[in-house]
Amino acid sequence: MIKSSSLFVAVVIFFLAATSVASASQPSVYRVTDYGARADPKTDSTSALSDAWRKACSDPRPSVVYVPHGRFHVRNLGFEGPCRSKDILVRIDGTLVAPSDYSVIGNAKNWILFHDVDGVRISGGILDGQGTGLWSCKLDGRKDCPTGAMNLHIANSKNVEIDGLTSINSQKFHIAVTGCQNVNLRDITVAALGTSPNTDGIHIEKSTLVSVLNSTISTGDDCISMGPGARNVWIERVACGPGHGISIGSLGWKFQEPGVQNVTVKRVHFTLHRDD
């Protein structure tokens, strides 16, 4: 009887321990719809996404910020770190849509910004910058056009993964990586008209250990551009075009600035850009 009791206690302890470990390994999930986001054109979901991010960022456990299917309209978004956890997934199954009035975000540098984060993964979804109105303004030669906002900017961050993301119709650059270390982009799709001005697909500057893999970029400017301080960049299996190719440019604006070093480009397919 004593042995049976001891065995029962041991089984219970093992079960409780296993349950505790399994529970501890489950990430916290913060659904933006729980914070007021709605997939309709009349709802501004900016605050809902910001609130979900703040909850995830303050959680010491692995966390997920989840955007479900649907079109969610948002203004400028800033996802600020540092966060307590170095394991945060931003999972987008729907589409984030910028304001159709380009002046709302056009004077900001960024539409969506991740700043000072470590260990963040952005997966899936579509970013629709609705930049066609601003392109027309610039192509018409008007002097009152705002500079435009980038769809996605990763700044002063490290250990960032971006996969399965689609960026369309950005007002300016689609994706920018600046002041970062160890940023990996894969299975990225960028799409904008071949006549869209200054819509670089991916811009890398003052960053090291950046890779772009298995991606398709069609835009009106550089598919991938590298500015001062881009180091240890790996580009492989990328389809580029229409666009201006892969460029190392915008250098020499300052008398002293960091150079570009150790850039590898492999198995890239270029489609010629035609203006006719």
Q: What are phi and psi of 92, to 5 degrees?
A: -115, 115
- d(C-alpha 230, C-alpha 177), whole Å: 10
Listed residue (174, 90, 88) closest to 131, CA to CA? 174
- d(C-alpha 206, C-alpha 250), whole Å: 13
- d(C-alpha 41, C-alpha 95), whole Å: 12
Catalytic residue among 73, 203, 244, 273: 244
Q: Which two tokens stand for residue 258?
A: 């960091």
Q: State yes or no: is 244 an active-site residue.
A: yes
Q: What is the strand order of the sheet 246-248 is part of?
A: 77-80, 110-115, 150-155, 175-178, 202-205, 224-226, 246-248
List C-alpha distances in Å: 128 to 140, 142, 168.
22, 24, 5
Listed residue (122, 114, 39) closest to 74, CA to CA? 39
Task: Report the relative pairing of strands 28-31 and 110-115 from DSSP bridges.
Answer: unpaired
Task: Look up residue 96 and give its amino acid.
Answer: L
Report the catalytic residues. Answer: 244
